[in-house]
Amino acid sequence: MSNQIPAKAFTGTLAEDGENEEPLKGLVNHGPPMENRMVTVVGEERKSEFPGPLYECVSWLEMFFNDAGSIVDIPLPPLHTSIKPDSFVAKVLHTLPEWVPPGKTISYRDLAAEMGNPRAARAVGMAMAVNPVPLLLPCHRVIKSDGTLRKYIAGLPVKRWLLEHEGAKLG
């Protein structure tokens, strides 16, 4: 396995709070993806120095970029976000990986219906827009009802790349 991935596929940087005691906070958006660059994945010797949650996150990301299908039964690393746990946004985002595995897509309308309110497609779109960890909570798998791609924080080329990497059938 190569230890490099296209930088345009990486939508954030790993961020950790405190002195190796606090849990991983998530992927922090750093603006538009870098084009035509490569990101070196951390070597195993360095990765072993990470505290547990950060190690889990980096390992999960490596599995995803090596073989997106390999993460289907792997639990997400610990996520700590500012989203209120009992909010509609949290419910949508935290159930998304389970409902829509790699290689599959769902429309905003169908996801709203799964959440119990078929008329809440716009609210689902807003939930996707405020996703603090877009790769781990895979909002790139949510598409328009006609099968076309809609906005993505890292841009439509990255959304398409992620879906193709996962094996999704795109029109």
Q: Which residues are catalytic?
A: 139
Q: Helix, strand, coil % (nearest 5) of the chain?
A: 40, 10, 50
Cα(first)–Cα(last) distance of the chain, in Å? 30
Q: Where are the beta strands (DSSP E) in the chain?
A: 4-6, 12-16, 24-29, 38-40, 106-107, 142-143
Sign of the four-CA dihedral 159, 154, 85, 51: positive
Q: Which residue has the tokens 């897509």?
A: 105
